[in-house]
Structure 1
Amino acid sequence: MKSLLGGLVAAACLTLASQAAAQTVTYYVQSAPYDSVSNYTGCPLGGCTATYTTSQRVSGSFTIFGALTPNMVDEIVDVRLGDLNLSDGQNTFQTDFLNWSIVSQTAQISTDASGNLTYFEFKFDKMHGSPATFGNAADPKSYVTSIYLGNTAGGSYAYVQSNSLCTSRGDNTGGNTYGLGCATQTSIPAQGASQASASAVTISLTPPPPPTVPTMSEWAMILLGALLAGGAALHLQRRRQTA
């Protein structure tokens, strides 16, 4: 059971009219594997599909209109999201979904001389139907699935919640409040909620390297070849004996 203040975590569907005509820039996201997992223990309403494991992580990318300015220091910025393709290992967050929205909030960030993010707080909320409600455990539209990404003074982190109950929302007046996303939410396993966290996450202009595939050493290959040859010879000998 955990209540989170969405106002402390910035979201990603943010607006800035002056960047509308600028070129898009893609940021790549990858967290460490989850080191803490808590899955649902009951499912009174349905939709309790996520079962996180420590082999999963947050990964994917999002695109904004216009590059962030280099050498920014803890600045509140607005960026307009152009594309989104994120996965928490169980749920996919994409811009072509119909019955969901992304929280509209400002983001506080810092960048290095190349425009890479060095400090950031983002929050993505996936809605469970429209119009969204809140605080009603019997209404599927009061539930939300979220991805938090942050790199603050205490270090970077990723935190995901699936099917958590939203207890308050905002009206998005002027684009700087909580919108249809969730300002506070609770993740109670008995209500069908699951959650997981990772102790590190990177948001970079450079795609992460593909996972390495273990290969056998030359001696292992030689040994495997000898075993296969020996097995084939034994099989032929048995066939001759039974012929």
Structure 2
Amino acid sequence: MKSLLGGLAAAACLMSAPQVAAQAVTYYVQSAPYDSVSNYTACPLGGCTATFTTSQRVSGSFTIFGALTPNMVDEVIDVRLGDLNLSDGQNTFQTDFLNWSIVAQTAQVSTDASGNLTYFEFKFDKMHGLPVAQANAADPKSYVTSIYLANTPGGSYAFVQSNSLCMIRGDNTGGNTYGLGCINATSNAPQGASQAASSAVTISLTPPPPPAVPTMSEWAMILLGVLLAGGAALHLQPRRQTA
């Protein structure tokens, strides 16, 4: 009887192991505010709505199936990507699992001995309809909106393009974008394209802290109270003279 129970327990562990390995892990993305922007100057196709500012940034999250393992070297993880929820300040990249409308043209990472990211390169492309085209400035389906995130030996950065003309399409390293991803795009302001860049970006398991809400000091509160009292006195004085 004991051996039967032990066998059942072992079988249960084996059945649950793949489920544990397949659990989605959320990674949080945040760049510094953009330090350079270039916005469209004309909109010949009528779909140019993004105007970036230096107060905007890339932020959001994405999931992968299973935590990153230690000592990964330039490993392609596009097949492990799941839910995506990113914003470049103007455009939203949001989907439950990547699909034909949003693809990972690049998804490659390296990790240290603890499984922490040491190098990463992600490029998410948002299509403008099927069938995708390329190098045709008169066809809206030749255009792409992209978020590019990288951490290289030279430093980390984020680069975003909105409504840029895709010159060359093709598969990523793993061959899972089926030619939808854009390998090379031009951001021509007269064609309706905008772009922005940030000099730093982080991807971590820890959500970024919420933006600080400015608080008033005690002296500022006292001064505000005095000003409100003075305003009330001035407001009541004419009423007393009239009466």
Inter-CA distance 99–172: structure 2 relative to 1 (3 Å threshold): closer
| 1:84 correspondence with 2:95 | no
Q: How does 1:49-128 map to 2 (within 5 A)?
A: 49-72=49-72, 74-78=73-77, 79-95=79-95, 100-105=101-106, 107-128=107-128
Q: Match of 1:69, SS?
A: coil
Residue identity opposite 1:237 in structure 2: Q
Structure 2 distance, partners of 1:136, 1:117, is: 38
Greater Cα radius of gyration, structure 1 or 2: 2
* Post-superposition offset of 1:26: 0.4
Supply the AA of the counterpart residue of 1:43.
C
**How far 1:171 moved relative to its partner?**
5.1
1:146-181 Cα deviation digits (max 9, x unpaired): 000000011000000000000111256962677301
Q: Name the one with the larger helix percent.
A: 2
User: Given the superposition, is the C-alpha separation of residues 124 and 192 from structure 1 closer, same or farther in structure 2, using an over 3 Å criterion?
Assistant: same
Q: Is the counterpart of residue 147 in structure 1 residue 147 in structure 2? A: yes
Report the counterpart of residue 183 of structure 2 in structure 1. Answer: 183
Q: How does 1:25-44 map to 2 (within 5 A)?
A: 25-44=25-44
Measured at CA, do residues 171 and 153 of structure 1 come closer, stay the same or move farther in structure 2, by a change above 3 Å?
closer
Identity %: 82
Q: CA deviation at 1:108?
A: 3.2
Deviation at 1:80, TM superposition (A): 1.5
* TM-score calculated relative to the size of structure 1: 0.85
8 Å contact 2:26–2:63 — kept in the other structure?
yes
1:199 partner amino acid: S
Secondary structure of the residue that 2:202 maps to in structure 1?
strand
The 3 A distance-change label for structure 1 pair 179 and 21 is farther
**What stretches of structure 2 of length at least 5 have no aligned partner?**
1-17
Rounded to whole Å, the distance in 2 between the matches of 1:88 and 1:232 is: 46
CA 99–51 in structure 1, closer or farther in 2 if over 3 Å, else same? farther
> Structure 1 unaligned runs (5+)?
1-17
Closer, same or farther: CA 160–80 of 1 in aligned 2, 3 Å: same
| CA distance in 1: counterparts of 2:222 and 2:113, whole angstroms | 50
Runs of 4+ in 1 over 4 A off after TM superposition: 18-21, 96-99, 171-174
Q: TM-score, normalised by structure 2?
A: 0.85
C-alpha separation between the residues in 2 aligned to 1:35 and 1:19? 43
**Partner SS state of residue 175, structure 1:** coil
2:135 counterpart residue number:
135
Cα gap change, 1:64 to 1:120, in 2 (>3 Å):
same
Distance in structure 2 (CA, Å) of the matches to 1:113 and 1:174:
24
Instruction: Tell me the equivalent position of 2:15.
Output: none
Which structure would you say has the larger RCO, counting Cα contacts within 8 Å and 6 or more residues apart?
1
Contact 2:100 2:180 in 1 (8 A): no
Once the two structures are superposed, residues 187-243 of structure 1 have per-residue CA deviations (whole angstroms, 9 ceiling, x without a partner) of: 000100000000000000000000001111110110001110111122112211123
SS in 1 for 2:221: helix
Q: Secondary structure at the match of 2:104?
A: coil
Distance in 1, Cα, partners of 2:20 & 2:131: 27
Q: 2:218 — aligned with what?
A: 218
Distance in 1, Cα, partners of 2:149 & 2:28: 12
For the residues of structure 2 that align with 1:160 and 1:39, how far apart are their CA atoms?
11
